[in-house]
A and B are shown apart, each in its own frame.
Chain A
Amino acid sequence: MKTQWTGFQIGNWQTSIDVRDFIQTNYQPYEGDESFLCGPTARTTRLMQKLNHLLDLERQFGGVLDIDTMTVSSLTNYAPGYLDQEDELIVGLQTSRPLRRGVNPFGGLKMTNDACKAYGYTLSDKIKDEFQYRTSHNEGVFRAYTDEIKRARHCGIITGLPDAYGRGRIIGDYRRVALYGIDFLIQQKQADKVRLGENVMLQDNIRLLEEVYQQISFLGKLKEMAALYGYDISEPASNAREAIQWLYFAYLGAIKEQNGAAMSLGRVSSFLDIYLERDIKSGLLTEEAAQELMDDFVMKLRMARHLRTPEYNELFAGDPLWITECLGGTGEDGRTLVTKNTYRMMHTLYNLGSSAEPNLTVLWSQTLPASFQRYAAKVSCDTDALQYENDDLMRPLYGDDYAIACCVSAMRVGKEMQFFGARANLAKLLLMSLNGGRDERYDIQLGPEHAPYEGDILDYDKVIELLDFYRPWLAKTYVNAMNIIHYMHDKYAYEKTQMALHDTKVHRFMAFGIAGMSVLADSLSAIKHARVRVVRNETGLITDFVTEGEYPAFGNDDDRVDNIAKEQVELFYKALCEHPTYRDAEHTLSILTITSNVVYGKKTGATPDGRPAGAPFAPGANPMHNREKNGALASLNSVAKLSYDVCRDGISNTFTIVPEALGHQEEDRYRNLIAILNGYFGQMAHHLNVNVLHRETLLDAVEHPENYPNLTVRVSGYAVNFTKLSPAHQKEIIARTFHQAM
């Protein structure tokens, strides 16, 4: 038994890597309320003032404070950086200075170049030369892309593909570094490598062997990186401060190496609680000191940055990293996984002020302790910084040590990963189906030719037939694009640090997505229940519609349209499953747009539901704005009907309500929010973003951003600082349905 483990309950976790077993044998469930929490220490306040000052400067500099154009981001390429070396309890920055962004051309040199230019910098010749002789992920992908895929991408029927930036959505089990130390992890990987050596040497095995070699190499680099800061992480962490530090180093290594879209943290709070409890019990720490460590840790997370192009920001607005941390949930044995440190993590929103990152995600279970449900509801009402995902739905599928990558993607920590794949635009699928495979905006042939829709009034059955003809084409094109992307990403930008913190044998998901679900459903409903006349342009292309009469719209708990939505989602998922995936990944599907609903809308012509050309879609699985005529619960019920069985990568719903509509008094609001969450998730719905705010607040923040430095708004699976959004995104959020009191 290692001396660092003194005081812990023994278990299987000591002989093989098994973090879950360590948690289960050692954690202390907490059923009490938040009264034990402590405010910020003078040190925390000092550091936070310093950070706020930098954040303010960053805003004034147009969103990017500084770029290091001379150094390629990696684990050991920067001198150690500090916010305040004297004061900090947890150390480590991505580059040598706070909020200075590194460049990461492994995804694609052009993106890096453009991003530097957009903020008035020039990528150094040194790096340009270096990458002249290297293939980036982006180059690899475009060597293999077919013309058909390029056209689909160009027209925006498939958009947001991770073919020019890091794919992300991989969660390293960063806890392993704290619990075992690097040396043990290397030993285990070396043993795996020996075992792989016994296998027949064919493509899959050879590739994996090389990957494990790289993993081992990067575990070594992680040690070197920590050494730059004066820490030796070869051995396990021996106290809480070290546990947080080791874990953070592991995460830091990952974000230095990779600029993936979503770089999620996992599920670390209750793991860390075991260390904090041990130190508190032995008198090493007070509650105030425990909170101070968590505050310092979260400050570091809030400083994580990647360099992006303006086009990227259009898709994923607000400079997000999706440092998603999962809180709560219930164990397989029925004990709550809420610990005191779950509270401490949420309390950072008060000690440091509200914030979009880390992306705090409550795993909601009907059996969560009542006092925790109340605290979560209170934090939502106070900060709008939480999202909720249904633990009772996911636990039977992923066990009790899964986490969420990005917004809504569940995976067992260290055992499963996904190939992220953005989304296909189903509203455009409808339009190209009517136009015989031609794109309605560019008037070019996308898919196979077919006679366009004849006649002036759209007939439901005929339209469905056309959709059935083009859906398989879209699914095939999409799967092919994804297979190419992930083949190349593995080849040219493999996540060495993160995959070193996974089991060598991992289960892979291929995460497809759809956008425009409610536009498609409402359009088909309009075709079926109202009268939709097509409008053709001079070349005969259908570019507009005249819709007469009422039709049931998604979001009113009306089966006539909700069943259409359900059916179309299932059909698309089935169509995807027809096509084999790279590395035999399991097909999954999400209904999630992030903020790309604005861009997708821009790229889509008018639709039969009455939506004008270029108008934004609703985000995720949300009903279209202001078509919900029966109030909030009817809207939630419509979304709850979508089946998680075919959307295992998540169904995102964003819910905004004004405080007065949630109840007169604060306690009423908490109680009512809990009832909404229990009612929604009790129907096996998957995800809910909760905003409790007034439209007027947002309007005022548009006028006076300086008064709202911390205004946090949940959008679609993540939170953003409202003042960091582009005017178009701000406008779209203001236009959303705010559920009002009558």
Chain B
Amino acid sequence: MKQGRISSIQSMGAVDGPGIRCVVFLQGCPLRCAYCHNPETWPIEGGEEMDLADLLTKIERLRPYLQQGGGVTVSGGEPLLQWEFVAELFSNLQDRGIHTALDTSGVGSLQGASEVLQHTNLVICDLKFCNEQDFRKQCHGDLRQVYDFLALTAERGVPLWIRQVIVPGLNDTKESILSLKEQARQYPNLEQIELLPFRTLCATKYEALGIPFLLQGTRDCSEETIHRLEAWLTE
């Protein structure tokens, strides 16, 4: 019996993939993004152990809503950290005719990712920065891993959405967006690019967890900024 460490289950997500989605937040993440809005998912030892069968039962209860163009999105944390569990979950879901989406930052075992992608209908990859230094500084990650992952999704022909959270002062420039666009269009499986506004709402979570919030004083990203940057994407 496969078990996974789960942070929480949101029975209704409507913004993480197409249609109505059950979003499973897995526990554990190798990155430490300064603007992460789920810091409670960072330590792998947190969350709750759950049997795959129990999780499937919960999801099955939502089938009436999910079957109309929606499905299940696995997010986190970094779901690829528990790639065996995710691969098994997705395989089961696909057998049951439920659409699967992987919401990932693309870091972790490439071999694990390869297993998961076999059963994945959609990859939503959060491409946080398009230059090595920023990614290392703000997220503590290695950008080459992400590019390798993206190349793999292209090779496998899994539909791809690329996302970026726009943080004022970090990546809200024309230059940054143009490099995102440049990078994204290398992937023939790309279906869309989404820009998400950074919200300071998460600051309270950091406070509750006793983790210093490095972006203290950064303001919310406005809708106008998003629209302005989106214009560069489509130009």
Contacts and interface: CB of A to CB of B under 8 A. Distances in A.
A678 B68 contact: yes
Contact of A675 (B10, B11, B13, B69): B69
B14 A679 contact: no
B68 A661 contact: no
B11 A679 contact: no
A630 B11 CA distance: 6
Contact of A633 (B8, B11, B68, B69): B11
A632 B11 contact: yes
Interface stretch (A166-174, A429-437, A664-672): A664-672
Interface string A631-660: 111110100000000000000000000001
A467 interface: no
Given A633-B62, A637-B62, A742-B10, A679 B20 contact: yes
B61 A671 contact: no
Interface string B10-25: 1111111001101101
Nearest to B9: A630
A664 B15 contact: yes
B61 A675 contact: no
A741 B14 contact: yes
Nearest to B38: A742
Contacts of B194: 664
A663 B11 contact: no
B10 A630 contact: yes
B61 A637 contact: yes
A197 to B, nearest CB: 55
B210 interface: no
Contact of B19 (A557, A637, A671, A683): A671
A674 interface: yes
Given A676-B65, A678-B64, A683-B64, A633 B20 contact: yes
Nearest to A668: B14
B20 A672 contact: yes
A632 B12 contact: yes
A676 B11 CA distance: 11
Interface in A664-716: 664, 668-669, 671-672, 674-676, 678-680, 682-683
A694 to B, nearest CB: 13
A679 B65 contact: yes
Nearest to A660: B15
Contacts of A631: 9-13
Given A630-B11, A662-B14, A557 B64 contact: no
A739 B14 CA distance: 11
Contacts of A662: 14
B70 interface: yes
A93 B59 CA distance: 54
Contacts of B22: 633
Contacts of A557: 11, 58, 61
Interface residues of B, number: 24
Nearest to B22: A633
A666 to B, nearest CB: 13
Given A630-B9, A630-B10, A683-B64, A675 B19 contact: yes
A295 B147 CA distance: 59
A662 B70 CA distance: 12
Contacts of B11: 557, 630-635, 637
Nearest to B20: A675
Nearest to A685: B64
A132 B6 CA distance: 72
Contacts of B12: 631-634, 661, 676, 739
Contacts of B14: 661-663, 668-669, 672, 741
Interface string A605-639: 00000000000000000000000001111110100
A631 to B, nearest CB: 4
A591 to B, nearest CB: 21
A374 to B, nearest CB: 13
Contacts of B68: 674-675, 678-679
A637 B61 CA distance: 8
A583 B112 CA distance: 71
Interface string A105-148: 00000000000000000000000000000000000000000000
Contacts of A674: 68
Interface in B169-199: 194
A147 to B, nearest CB: 49
A632 B11 CA distance: 6
Contacts of B58: 557
A243 to B, nearest CB: 38
A63 B194 CA distance: 48
A665 to B, nearest CB: 10
A630 B25 CA distance: 12
A557 B70 CA distance: 19
A637 B13 CA distance: 15
Interface string B191-235: 000100000000000000000000000000000000000000000
A380 to B, nearest CB: 14
A742 B64 contact: no
B13 A742 contact: yes
A668 B192 CA distance: 15
B19 A742 contact: no
Interface in B110-166: none
B155 to A, nearest CB: 29
Interface in B75-129: none
Residue from B20, B22, B25 whose CB has the most chain A CB atoms within 10 Å: B20
Given A630-B10, A633-B22, A637-B61, A661 B69 contact: no
A630 B16 CA distance: 16
A634 B11 CA distance: 6
A122 to B, nearest CB: 54
Contacts of B10: 630-631, 742
Nearest to B201: A740
A738 B16 CA distance: 19
A741 B15 contact: yes
A630 B23 CA distance: 10
A679 B66 CA distance: 8
B25 to A, nearest CB: 8
B15 A675 contact: no
Contacts of A663: 14-15
A678 B65 CA distance: 7
Contacts of A637: 11, 61-62
Nearest to B62: A633
A682 B64 contact: yes
B65 A633 contact: yes
B111 to A, nearest CB: 29
B69 A671 contact: yes
A669 B61 CA distance: 22
B65 A675 contact: yes
Given A557-B11, A630-B11, A672 B19 contact: yes
Contacts of A675: 19-20, 65, 68-70
Contacts of A634: 11-12, 61-62
A139 B25 CA distance: 62
B137 to A, nearest CB: 26
A587 B66 CA distance: 37
Interface in A519-567: 557
Contacts of A742: 10, 13, 15-16, 23, 25
Given A630-B9, A671-B19, 8 more contacts: A557-B58, A633-B22, A635-B11, A672-B19, A675-B69, A679-B66, A679-B68, A741-B15
Interface of B: 8-16, 19-20, 22-23, 25, 58, 61-62, 64-66, 68-70, 194
The 5 nearest A-B residue pairs measured at CB: A679-B65, A633-B11, A631-B11, A679-B64, A634-B11
Interface of A: 557, 630-635, 637, 660-664, 668-669, 671-672, 674-676, 678-680, 682-683, 739, 741-742
28 contacts: A630-B11, A631-B11, A633-B12, A637-B62, A661-B12, A662-B14, A663-B14, A663-B15, A664-B15, A668-B14, A669-B14, A671-B69, A672-B14, A672-B20, A674-B68, A675-B19, A675-B20, A675-B68, A675-B70, A676-B65, A678-B68, A679-B65, A679-B66, A679-B68, A680-B64, A680-B65, A682-B64, A742-B23
